[in-house]
Amino acid sequence: MEINLLKLLIMASKRLLYAFLLQVFAMQVIIATPSHSQNLEDVALSIRAESQRLKEILEMIEERTVFGFTYNQKVARHHQRFTFSYQDSNVKEVLQHLAQVSDFEFKRVNRTIYVAPGGRSVTAKEPKRVQESETDEIEITISGKVTDENGDPLPGATISVQGTAIGTVTGLDGSYSLTVPDGSIVVFSFIGYQSQRFTIENQTGIDVQMVQDESSLDEVVVIGYGTREKKDLTGAISQIDSEEITKTASMTPELAMQGRMAGVFVSNPGSDPNARPSIRIRGVSTLGYNDPLYVIDGVPLVEGGAASGDARTQDQRGNVNVFNLINPNDIESISVLKDASATAIYGVRASNGVILITTKRGAKGKPKVSISSRYGVQNVRNNWDVMNTKDYIDTYLDALNNNPAASPDPNFFQFYDRNSTEYLGDNPYYTDAWLEAARVENAVIQDHNVSITGGNEMSNYAVGAGFSGQENAMFSSSFKRYSAYVNSDHQITNWLKVGESFRFVYSQTADDSGAGLNTAFSAPWQPLYDPSGFRGYASPGRMVGDAFLSNGYGGATRNNFLAIADLNTVQRDMIRNIGSFYAEASPLEGLRLRGTFSFDQFTNTQQRFFDQRRGIFEANQGVPYTGEGNTYRRRINENVNIVKEFLIGYTRRFGRHNFDLILNAMDQQVQWNNTQLSVDQNSPLPAWDQRRIDEGWPREDKALLYERSPSGLQGYMGRLSYNFDSKYYLDATVRRDGTSKFGPGFKWGTFPSFGAAWRLSSEDFIGQGIIDDLKLRVGWGQTGNQETRDFAFLSLVNFNPVYALGSGGNAIGDGTIQSAAALGDFPIVDMSWETVTTTNIGLDAMLLSNRLSMTVEYYQRYTDGILQAINIPQVIGALSQPVVNLANVDNRGFEFQGNFQDQIGDFTYSVGANLTTVRNRVSNLYQGRPSGGNSNRIEEGRPINFLWGYVTDGIFQTEEQVESWLEENEDPGFQVQKSPGDIRFVDVQGPPAEGADNAFFSPEPDGRIDAFDQTYIGKSIPGYYYGINLGLNYQSFDFTIDFRGMGDVQSIFTNGLQSVGSGGGNYLVDYLDRWTPENPSNTIPRAITDDPSGNNRIADRHVANAGFFRFQNFQLGYNVSGELLSRLGVSNFRAYLMGQNLFVFSPFPGLDPENDTTPTTFILGVNLGF
């Protein structure tokens, strides 16, 4: 009984306070008591007001008349004061006066007068906004009880007559009573639940059980080590729920965030289901590892080798997105912590932001079964438009003839010589066949899941399983995932609670390398199939005259990727076990002690079988490999992540003062182990299905390695949260972390932060008007970044060297070979954290009766002491570049997010939009020294990875223009054949003057075109990105549509802009418009072999606008209902059609501004509930 009473009080205090007021205002009614009464002008009234508020005046009228007033909280908090006096007047005259001097309207229905904000301007010609009506129809008094999905009373639910102002709300026990017109439609509604409608036909008792509306459950936000109501946030946090997550046609949860969150940019990985999208939160903050921290159900994820820039390490890691192992259907919500006041609780791991993934758990109530299934297809429609065979040969010969110094390969030139017997210009055009093979038509994407949830007062549970599969729309890779999970919570006693979460995932990927869309540029006369060839495939090698040419169709001869894939097998099997166990004790009121043990263990096993006959179909081989046999390699990457935590939490309320204290200690141990076994020589393996490595095979034919990369992290965190009367808020956090990645004396770092908020709408000086809630937030804090190679503070011992000692061997000077050791690294003992300092100012608003929500934020993220690899003299003998704390990066910008939702009868709609701006700058590089190439230049005062190249001024059209230019400029190495049709380069800079402040170039031209003239020509980090989301609901139909885009970003694009040569590959049809004496183009230079004039040097003419506007997603759904479904026990049945990447608008001249293989997807799906 005590538990039930406490529960009712909690529900009354939370739900009644918010939902009651919000929903009642939407109807402009709280209580209506229908009865007949006098007209307003018939009721005498004398009243005097001296600087009094509207609420006070209405209370005076209630005391002196038979009328009662009904109004919402906005009216009650209206701050305008009125002064007037009426003697021997009537109620109507007084209300007309109030209507004219305020922005409110009054409507009498029997003895109840409803007050609502006016929708029109007040003018002298329109003085009256006081209405009256009587109800003469037959009325029926209905009563009953409203309960939630578990059968518990639902206080504060609204009951209203559709199209009228008649209504009431439920009491603490969920009961209600209301007199309504017979035949009317009564609507039962409550925030977070689906509205239900009943037509009154003489019935007097109606009990209603509400059903949760998943789209409204965003009031509670996961913030790390707990949750908080959205209205009480002080930090910059964005969140999406399960409904939004499952609207994305992807196997990985990251793509659900595309275009939905301000400050979060998610790249497009293309059609490969295993590709990793890049996620950047508020820009690029460091020169190295920029990925955010992922936390799943409290478990911080770590992937071995992820932060390393070493090519060998990345090859061991493999091109597999480990987050494919997380089934999006199992996710309840994704929260993104963006500023340091929110991320500081994760300290050294949180410099790039934190993504919190919370999976679904059970709830009290009878068992619920949910089934979801969807099946669709994907296609890549993009294609390069290349020349036919005749134009291809003409362009090849034109390029060759324009360079008298060129010496073509005689083996290949004969294919283009119309007088040769080996001329191939009359061969069939095979490019279309290659492109057809490079695609997978209607590549399948499917997902099927089942879950069961339930519980009682003491326990809850959730179990589920699923299968997902996706084929690459390009030849050829595939992904299959089998997943299962179980979690439960148990209230053992009134002070002890325990629970667990366990998730098992097995996935398998197959990867057969294809030629991609660039296969269009292969020689158009090379066949793909040959009925008389091995397995029906054409070999790229062939006899030409008396000689065998492995590149039998010229310099652009391609591997036959279909044949090689038929012979080879590359497969990855991944198994992941992730889970946690916790016990929470509450010995005192408000105090909780929680211990958690979490683990994340996954193995990534790659098996590679190469058939020696693959050489037949390789352009540079042409014949089977000899001496190696059919090789086999098995590589096992094992990642073990163990986290132990102990938390003390204390919550206390003193009057209007609220305190919440959290103390946490954490220990994390990570082990990344790599094992590789292979047989590379004299392999006796006949086929893939007999793969093995026998102990008895000769040792020299096999290879074995085993590597360990351990790391550890310990941390202590304290967070104090305070709020006064939900008006003033303060959060203060201190985190101290120690890591194994740095040396003694530099292992520990301290990261403070604070966040504060002020609910301005609670102050008297803020006029209410359209404002329902207005909150100002500020935050400041620091986080760290430890991501660098392991043990960079040490010089690692290399045991690979050998030396000869004594006499012996096969030649004079040889000795007995001995094992040796070398110190190949230059240690930096004082290397430490990168520190990210974040400042954030935000304004949150709820407007127009809570229909419009808006957030505006300004942020600055300053990264200090970036870990940067530096060059040192080779004479030191270091094999790797030392890493030091040097560079700084500054990101700053604005975020805007808004959402408007409303209802017109049975039609509801919502419109959401977000916009993020980013300004990125680098400073304090090592000795100010720039680095990088044309597409990833890093230089002080510029954005990270900006575009760097030459400046041009069109194309020379005449010999006179060339001669005039050469009189003023020289172009070493590129001026001997300078002619009309070549690019005119501009001299913009020169070499640095001795003793000048700028040690790398002089801003003064020197009459010479060289590397010093390369300069800033564009940037690769978007200046802004945005998303637009629309939602419509009408009766049983629902429709959503999403757009996203970015701008102020450029990309280097060379296709169709170069001086094409005679390398052998086919050309875009754009080159038919190249410069010739008859076609003086000013955009495409002349065709010339070997590019002797340097026309193809990366320059401003290659910079393309990479901004875009993409139709990202749509989904059309229908909720099926009927008596038959009810009899079958089906609680919900929804069918839907969804599409993704339907079109993109962009000035970018390539196939797609993000990824050429972006597929168009269509999916049919159903959701069932029992």
Residue 529 lies in a domain: no
- Spans of the chain, pLDDT less than 70: 1-38, 71-77, 79, 109-110, 117-129, 132-138, 163-165, 191-192, 212-220, 767-768, 806-815, 873-879, 995-998
Give a yes or no: residue 830 inside a domain. Answer: no
Does residue 1143 contact residue 1045 with C-beta atoms inside 8 Å?
A: no
CA distances from 342 to 236, 280, 723 (A): 7, 17, 16
Per 3-state DSSP, the chain is made up of helix, strand and coil in percentages (nearest 5) of 15, 45, 40
Alpha-carbon distance of 340 to 837, in angstroms, equals 7
Alpha carbons 786 and 699: distance in angstroms, whole number: 40
**List of E strands, 223-350:** 227-229, 237-241, 264-266, 279-281, 293-296, 299-300, 331-337
What is residue 1132's predicted lDDT score, i.e. its pLDDT? 86
Cis amide prior to 476 (ω within 30 degrees): yes
Within a domain: 196 = yes
Alpha-carbon distances of 862 from 227, 235, 238, 1015, rounded to whole Å: 28, 17, 21, 25
Q: Which residues pair with 1037 in a beta bridge?
A: 1034, 1118
CA distance 450 to 666: 35
Any idea how long the chain is?
A: 1170
pLDDT of residue 774: 92
User: Would you state the pLDDT for residue 10?
Assistant: 41
Cα separation of the two ends of the chain: 31
Q: What confidence score (pLDDT) does residue 487 get?
A: 94
The closest alpha carbon to 982, from 1097, 1065, 1116, belongs to 1097
Instruction: Quote the number of domains for the chain.
Output: 1
**189 CB neighbour count, 10 Å cutoff:** 23
**Cβ–Cβ < 8 Å for 15, 156:** yes
Give CA 1095 to chain center in angstroms. Answer: 39
Q: What are phi and psi of 1127, to 5 degrees?
A: -65, -30
Closest to 519 measured CA to CA, from 454, 579, 431? 431
Number of neighbours of residue 1143 by Cβ within 10 angstroms: 8
Contact 229, 219 (CB under 8 A): yes
Nearest Cα neighbor of 431 from 531, 527, 536 is 527
- Residue 67: inside a domain: yes
Nearest to 952 by CA among 1027, 870, 1007, 1014: 1014
Q: Tell which residue, 228, 227, 230, 157, has the closest CA to residue 195.
A: 157
Distance CA 78, CA 73 (A): 8
Asked if the structure places residue 35 within a domain, the reply is yes
Mapping DSSP to helix (H, G, I), strand (E, B) and coil, where does residue 1142 land? strand
Q: How far apart are CA 123 and CA 127, in angstroms?
A: 6
- Kindly report the CATH number assigned to the domain that includes residue 120: 2.60.40.1120
**Contacts of 250 by beta carbon, 8 Å cutoff, 6+ apart:** 256, 328
Which residue segment(s) compose the domain that 104 sits in? 2-214
Residue 62 lies in a domain: yes
Asked whether residue 672 is assigned to any structural domain, the reply reads no
Report yes or no on 184 lying in a domain.
Answer: yes
CA 303/CA 671 separation, integer angstroms: 10
Give the Cα separation of 318 and 25 in Å (integer): 56
pLDDT of residue 797: 77
- According to the model, what pLDDT value does residue 191 have? 59
DSSP state, 1121?
A: -
